[in-house]
Amino acid sequence: MSQRDWGNGGYYQVGTSNTWVAWLSFPTPDGGHKRRVKKITEPNKKRAKIRCETELKHLQRLRDEGIQPASGDWTVETWIRHWIDTIVKTTRSPGTVDTYTQRLGARIAPALGRIRLAELTAEDIDRWITQMVQDGLASSTIKSHLTVLRGALDVAAKRGHVEARIIQGIAAPRQARGTIRKLPLTLEQADAVLDYAWDAHPALAVAWTLGLWAGFREGEIAGLRWTDVTPPTVKIRGQIRRYTWEHGCGEFTNGRWPCCRRRGASCPRRYRFLPPDYDAVHIRGGLWWAPTKTVNSNRDLPMSVKVQEALVRWWPIQRQLWDDPTWVVTDPKGQCAIPAKLNDWWKKDLAAVGIDPARRSLHAARGSFATFLLEAGVDQPTQVGLMGHSKYQTTELYITVRDEHMAEAMSKVDQLAKPPAQIGPPTTP
């Protein structure tokens, strides 16, 4: 059956209101058909008819090209949810799905969510960005919100749900002056926080050692299993991630979920979609053990003396505390540690030894390791490999060139400039 056999559709006025509806039947995959509509608000009868004709032609063109018009009543929120739920979910990592969903809920939906997609204007977006700047959001945060909106609108424009020119004018605000860098710990500070942790809670001393002296990410610290510890190397194969539960009760329509609960975690039919090739293992609650971020993150690290000592010291202590230890680092109950909690404990430990925790998250321990590598004179390709990166540009972001290191470099230049030592006894004129 050809597309044309589905009829030419039509349009009508709703009662005596200003609302007009253009409609056309589309074939459905199951062999049936579904009527798709486009609503128009127009008080002038003549103009309404012209606009309906245009809408009808647009629908016919979509049908001829075999494109299903998504529901004509998309709002910004329902559209972005649909986009995340179908396109993002199948093309990006589960972590990205979570980030995008979080951005949608935090800033996009409250400001723009209820606007009909077809009625969204560039000025709505301008006002939204201005509001975020006024609320004092970092430009990097604003940019990450824009990434989500732009991504969703790009697809919407290709399908004719919004006009392409809306997206073209979106501009990210400039970067605030004085970029905020993470601060690495000095050798003395690293020793101080480790000494403190060994006395206070040895499991965390192991965690901090893995960060400071092997450059582990938070999730990698929590995800290290004893089976990964194979002297003389330690294998990094996965990380602990927290994935957000999704609603399994149906589609988000009219500003709510069928179960009437807001959070996916409270949905009676909650579930979590993970790609089939994703070897994630469910631990408990929202916690999963997931494969490392990239192929390069999958790495076998030679054990440094610091790491070796820490593991040797920790092993018998853990044996005394808990019976079945899968995880190297555990929370106070002997369970798999939650990365975000590790970060809280890390900051408390820093404060306990008089180090300001601002700009020194647990991720800064990884930055300290990168900085130590530079100060030890390790070459760039090896730095990249040990950090689990694919290119030096990423490693560079973790490295801080400290004043002491620059002074040392300058003294090397001085050495070079020194006159050569005289050979043999001084000659007398």
Q: Which residues bind Zn ion (CB under 5 A)?
A: 247, 249, 257, 259, 267
Long-range contacts made by residues 82-85, C-beta under 8 angstroms, separation at least 24? Answer: 83/151, 83/152, 83/155, 83/156, 84/152
238 and 292 Cβ atoms separated by less than 8 Å: yes
Nearest C-alpha neighbor of 72 from the set 41, 37, 119: 37
State which residue, 257 or 369, has the beta carbon closest to Zn ion.
Answer: 257
End-to-end CA distance of the chain: 113
Place of tokens 């480790």: 194
Torsion of Cα atoms, 80 then 85 then 91 then 93, to 10° = 100
Q: Are strands 238-242 and 233-236 parallel, antiparallel or unpaired?
A: unpaired
Q: Given the complex with Zn ion, which of 13 and 244 has the nearer CB atom?
A: 244
Task: Name the residue nearer to Zn ion (CB basis): 40 or 267.
Answer: 267
CB of 285 to Zn ion, least distance (A): 18
Min CB(252)–Zn ion separation in Å: 9
Which among 162, 155, 151, 98 is positioned nearest to 124, based on CA atoms?
A: 162
Find the shortest distance in angstroms from Cβ 209 to Zn ion.
43
Indicate the burial class of 306 (C-beta count within 10 angstroms; 0-12, 13-18, 19 or more): middle
259 vs 274, which CB is nearer to Zn ion?
259
Sign of the four-CA dihedral 212, 218, 220, 221: positive
Q: CB 286 → Zn ion: shortest distance, Å?
A: 16
Output the smallest distance, CB 113 to Zn ion, in A: 17
Phi, psi angles (nearest 5°) of residue 80: -65, -40
Rounded to the nearest whole angstrom, what is the least distance from the CB of residue 261 to Zn ion in the complex? Answer: 6
**The residue type at 86:** T
CB of 263 to Zn ion, least distance (A): 9
| CA 140/CA 176 separation, integer angstroms | 9
* Cα dist from 179 to 88, 140, 255, whole Å: 31, 10, 38
Q: Are 363 and 217 in contact (CB under 8 A)?
A: yes
Nearer to Zn ion, 52 or 267 (CB): 267
Kindly state the smallest distance separating residue 81's Cβ from Zn ion, in Å.
12
Q: Are the C-beta atoms of residues 100 and 91 closer than 8 Å to each other?
A: no
| Residues 218 and 338: beta-carbon distance below 8 Å | no
Of the pair 269, 282, the CB lying nearest Zn ion is at: 269
Tell me the two tokens of residue 274: 């993970």
* Beta carbon nearer to Zn ion, 268 or 419: 268
- The torsion angles phi and psi of 289, rounded to 5 degrees, stand at -95, 120
Give least dist CB 73 to Zn ion, A: 21
Of 104 and 337, which has the nearer Cβ to Zn ion?
104
Identity of the residue, 45 or 262, whose beta carbon is nearer to Zn ion in the bound complex: 262
Radius of gyration of the chain measured on its C-alpha atoms: 30
CB 181 within 8 A of CB 400: yes
Shortest approach of Zn ion to residue 251 CB, angstroms?
10
Tokens of 386: 């040990």
> Looking at beta carbons only, is 72 or 113 nearer to Zn ion?
113
